[in-house]
Copies of this chain bind each other. A is one copy, B any other.
């Protein structure tokens, strides 16, 4: 069991964000009699998962749906995704694909500007 400071240090995620994750139901925390959070070892992996999913642009709501399907190091039985969740994830994947294409296009625009502005 570790407290929030250690978890923050080990994951390089701010305490503020960890509290937010708990508030959003992404992270379980026991409480001491005094009200301080206590996290299991597996919380480290979980926070890393959360960060990955945030980086993928998923909302905290979607992450809350996805997390039960991800196998943590605590080896809890991974829940099976509902068809609608899979659909959501496929949609997110398509969004990422589209975003990549858009960025590639933006890069091309930028290259034109840079070429016109610097070299010529």
Contacts and interface: CB of A to CB of B under 8 A. Distances in A.
A69 B116 contact: yes
Interface in A78-111: 78, 80-81, 85-86, 89-90, 92-93, 96-97, 99-100, 102-107, 109-111
The A interface is mostly helix, strand or loop, or mixed, namely helix
27 contacts: A52-B106, A52-B109, A55-B102, A55-B105, A55-B109, A56-B107, A56-B110, A57-B106, A66-B113, A66-B117, A70-B113, A70-B116, A78-B116, A80-B117, A81-B118, A86-B114, A86-B118, A89-B110, A89-B113, A89-B117, A90-B114, A93-B110, A96-B103, A96-B106, A96-B107, A100-B103, A100-B104
